[in-house]
Amino acid sequence: MRSKAIGVQPPRLRRIGSLLTVACAIALCPIVGAPARLALAASPCDGWTMTTLFSGLGTLEYLLPDGRGGLLISSSDRNAVERLTRAGVKSTVSALPAPGAMVIRGNQLYVTTGDGAQSGTLGTTDGTIERIDLDTLQDVTYSSGLIMPNGLAFSIAGDAYTTRDLDNPNNPAQVTKVSASDPTHPDLHWANQGDTNGVRVDPTQTWLYISTTFNQPANVYRVRLSNPSDIELVASLANTGSTVPKGLDDMTMDTNGVLYVAANGSGEMLRLDPTTGQSCVLASGLQNPSAVEFGSGTGWDATHLFVSGFDGTVRELTPPTPGPQIPEGWPLGLASVAAGAVLVAFTASGLRRRRSIPQESP
């Protein structure tokens, strides 16, 4: 299968040549660059500010506002999904091995488990998607037999898609589909694209967008849902912002189909418009950001982005003007699945010709 580009000539894909470089690309070397700053003016990345809400939370793989006044976090070192209130009160939702991405559909929380490097490199089928009732906190296994399920997205039809960025020669990493009609028999080789991490279904329910981690160009692809052999290169983000290897991690999407991608290796938050191919740096100076989501519910503004990090922090990114709102009645599950469940509308005041150097709020 040969990927085709969308409006750009695809660069030759190449694996990072050494273990040291790979480690640097994802998390294991210091972040190089200036303190938190914004992109140049005359871009939709202008004017955002960053605030640290919580720190000292251990290694965080994922976060998700629950729409009930809390923020859910996947804790890798505590092997648990936990919940934070805006005041910082923490409680355990469920003890789970190596939890990864989360999606809320109705009152049900879906979360991947077995998202560990050993499972990926050995090709161990110990991964699952767990379903937790947010009213009772009762947990049941929705699907099993997965290999290192990292990212997670659902289509409106209820089909789930998981990603995997580490592989085994005997069992290469590919995109997995868990059919709504038969979740007990996942298709581990649904789409032949390896090195995948963040995943989102676009608002038209046509494409599955995926970010990749262990490649120098920092590629973002899309897979046609109706024909998974149709895989297109959307953009390469290596030249957006810092020259440090991006190590793209998770991402979210707004209802206009614009992507917001956590660059774990370079410590940046990137914005990518798949339609135009234009990208910019929303914020920099982060320490290994792992996931990003729009807010939902009391205390978690729907116009703001919330970012988790391997350094145990949760940060809030605030737009320069009153921004998007989640449409009335829009299911929170789709905020993590198909579209981010927000409307992004950057006004003229966000496009003034000036350079803004934000200071982190106390």
**Tokens 């953009």 appear where?**
235
More confident of the two residues 15 and 292: 292
DSSP codes of every residue in 131-171: EEETTT--EEEEEEEESS---EEE-TTS-EEE--S--BTTB
pLDDT the model gives residue 321: 76
Q: Quick check: helix, strand or coil at residue 23?
A: helix
- Which is nearest to 282 in space by CA: 44, 33, 51? 44
Is position 24 within any domain? Answer: no
pLDDT the model gives residue 171: 82
Lowest mean pLDDT among 25-34, 187-196, 215-224: 25-34
pLDDT the model gives residue 42: 64
The predicted-structure confidence for 310-358, as pLDDT tens digits, reads as follows 999 999 999 997 654 444 444 444 433 333 333 333 333 332 333 332 3
The predicted-structure confidence for 221-247, as pLDDT tens digits, reads as follows 999 999 999 999 999 999 999 999 999
Residue 90 pLDDT greater than 80, yes or no: yes
Mean pLDDT of 199-205: 97
Residue 260 pLDDT greater than 70, yes or no: yes
Q: What is the dihedral of CA 198, 126, 128, 269, to 10 degrees?
A: -20
Lowest mean pLDDT among 167-176, 226-235, 268-277, 307-316: 167-176
Is position 5 within any domain? Answer: no
Lowest mean pLDDT among 163-167, 283-287, 332-336: 332-336
Per the prediction, the chain carries an average pLDDT of 83
Is position 26 within any domain? Answer: no
Q: For residue 28, what pLDDT band results from cuts at 50, 70 and 90?
A: very low
Enclosing domain of residue 273? 36-351
Model pTM? 0.80
More confident of the two residues 116 and 335: 116
Residue 290 phi/psi, 5-degree rounding, is -110, -30
pLDDT the model gives residue 168: 82
Q: How many domains are there within the chain?
A: 1
Is position 214 within any domain? Answer: yes
Sign of the alpha-carbon torsion through 201, 202, 207, 209: negative
Residue 183 pLDDT greater than 80, yes or no: yes
Is position 151 within any domain? Answer: yes
Instruction: Kindly give the residue spans of alpha helices, DSSP state H, lying in the chain.
Output: 19-26, 117-122, 332-335
More confident of the two residues 155 and 16: 155
Q: For residue 182, what pLDDT band results from cuts at 50, 70 and 90?
A: very high
Are 220 and 237 a contacting pair, CB within 8 Å? yes
Is position 31 within any domain? Answer: no
pLDDT the model gives residue 293: 98
Q: Is 126 buried (19+), middle (13-18) or exposed (0-12) by CB count in 10 A?
A: middle
pLDDT the model gives residue 139: 98
List Cβ neighbours of 358 (8 Å cut-off, separation of 6 or more): 36, 37, 38, 48, 49, 50, 283
Lowest mean pLDDT among 40-49, 182-191, 256-265, 310-319: 40-49
Tokens of 88: 């910082």
Lowest mean pLDDT among 15-19, 93-97, 274-278, 301-305: 15-19
More confident of the two residues 43 and 81: 81
Residue 55 pLDDT greater than 70, yes or no: yes
Is position 16 within any domain? Answer: no
Is position 6 within any domain? Answer: no
Mean pLDDT of 133-150: 98
pLDDT the model gives residue 84: 98
pLDDT the model gives residue 70: 98
- DSSP secondary structure letter of residue 361: B
End-to-end CA distance of the chain: 50
| CATH code for position 338 | 2.120.10.30
Q: For residue 25, what pLDDT band results from cuts at 50, 70 and 90?
A: very low
